[in-house]
Chain A
Amino acid sequence: MKFSKFFYLLVFAIILSNDALSQTDIEKEVFGLGQISGEEIRLNDEQKRDFSDKALRKTKALSNYISTIADKSKEETQKSRAIDLAVKLFMSENSAVEISSLNKQTKRLKIRAYLNKLKLLPYYKVKISWFDIFFASNFTKRPDGKYEAIATIFQKFEGSNNDGIKYIDITKKNIQIIIEQVEIKTGDKAEKVWEVFLGDIKVEETRKE
């Protein structure tokens, strides 16, 4: 009997120890422990350069989406999809965009509301173009662990009514660029990765052409 008891105990001990190891492995996979482990990770210069490139391309992408959304000749489907994709360039739906005109005070709108408003502008023809996009500051680390930089763009707005009368203004805008860690799911694994997003857009100056 002692022989049997010994083996039962041995098997039980092995199963318990193996379960404990498996549990640790699963935790590592699910919670990304061992990769992040609460340790602060810094971006190196090469990574910052790659994210700067990506940020500029996202800014240009936003510019193209705005052109599409405002273009009266584009199909409604394409415009709606452009709005969805443009919103995804931002940190969240709560990101704000300041809008201005030569005659009115600056207003703040949430990004989706701003893009929907562009689609419905009361002009016969609208052309919005962005130019001279550049980084006004390097990425610096914020207290919350995210990296932030400011990109500056110039926006030219041209709207014509049925009578052919044109309204044109040029606005200098500052766009907040943020790099933050987000959790993405790859199959059944969750992983923390860095991604670059657009933040709030502020108007710095509005002038005639």
Chain B
Amino acid sequence: MSNPNKLFKCYKDGCSFRQDHDDGPFLTQSEYDVYVKDGSLVCPEDNLNCGLQELKAEDYPKPPGFVINKKLAAIVGIAVCVCIATVFAIRNFRKELPKIEKVEQKVAPVETPQTSNETETIEPMVTEPEPTITTPESPSTNNSLSALFQKIGDSKIQYSEKDALKNQLIENYFKNDAAQVIEIGKNNTEVDYTTIKDFLEELSQQNYSIEILEVIPKSQKKIKTIKIRQN
């Protein structure tokens, strides 16, 4: 039983098939059968053993599907490389994030220096993670964070006058009234956690002064967490 997918080709120079057959460089099984019968195949030696024979395995045209898969594989390969690079980049970024935050915590602005005749350039310095005063603005400003805390904790100011100060302090400096206040003890233990709303209420009734140790975030954004110490 002949294979209809077989292809034939003349492997010798001078084979008439090469000139006559315009449909392609190969002959199918059915064409081969017809041309052999009608004698249109002419070989230089005038016989059918002129070299017309089935294609060698390596000469069979590659199926078109294979070419497509090669392209697809290349695309998938590139996509995989991009995916792997992205995954590793994300993982590395996650690992690096806490380190970045730690470094940020270590960098604290230097407090206002003593009055001096010499001009000094003040740059942020890396300090040990011990409590540092990092108030967002100078305490001398009348409505600075420190000044408002002082007023709210001042026993000479009437309790009824303190509500406006409490609202002003929260609105101007804090993200919301649920921002966290962490109280630090003398030995640097975190001894109390409360909201700014409750803390200000307590301060306005108990009347004491505080020292601001740290605000988070340190940028000009509104405060989410503040660390303080009672004086």
**Distance in angstroms between the alpha carbons of A18 and B86 in the assembled complex:** 11
A-B contact count (CB 8 A): 86
Residue of B nearest to A186 (CB): B180
Contact of B189 among A11, A21, A46 (CB under 8 A): A46
Question: Is B206 interfacial (CB 8 A cutoff)?
Answer: yes
Contact between chains at A54 and B205 (CB < 8 Å): no
Tell me how many residues of B have a C-beta within 8 Å of chain A. 34
Task: Please determine whether B91 and A54 come into contact, CB atoms closer than 8 angstroms.
Answer: no
CB-CB under 8 A from B76, the residues of chain A are 4, 7-8
Q: Are A15 and B198 in contact (CB under 8 A)?
A: no
Segment at the B interface, from A61-69, A100-108, A110-118 = A61-69
Cross-chain contact B94 with A14 (CB below 8 angstroms)? no
Chain B's closest residue to A46 (CB) is B187
A187 touching B193 in the complex, CB below 8 Å, given contacts A7-B77, A50-B186:
no
Q: A7-B76, A7-B80, A64-B206 are in contact. Are A54 and B192 (CB under 8 A)?
A: yes
Tell me whether A209 is interfacial, beta carbon within 8 Å: no
CB of A163 closer than 8 Å to a CB of B? no
Q: Which of A180-197 contact B (CB under 8 A)?
A: 182, 184, 186-187, 193-196
Assembly CA distance A148 to B38 (angstroms)? 114
A85 interface neighbour in B72, B191, B205, B230, Cβ under 8 Å: B205
Contact surface of B with A, Cβ cutoff 8 Å: 69, 72-73, 76-77, 80, 83-84, 87, 90-91, 94, 159-160, 180, 183, 185-194, 198, 201-202, 205-206, 224-225, 230
Offer 20 A-B interface pairs, CB within 8 angstroms, sorted by A: A1-B69, A3-B77, A7-B77, A8-B76, A11-B84, A18-B87, A18-B91, A25-B94, A46-B187, A49-B186, A50-B185, A53-B185, A68-B205, A75-B159, A78-B205, A85-B198, A85-B205, A88-B194, A186-B180, A193-B190
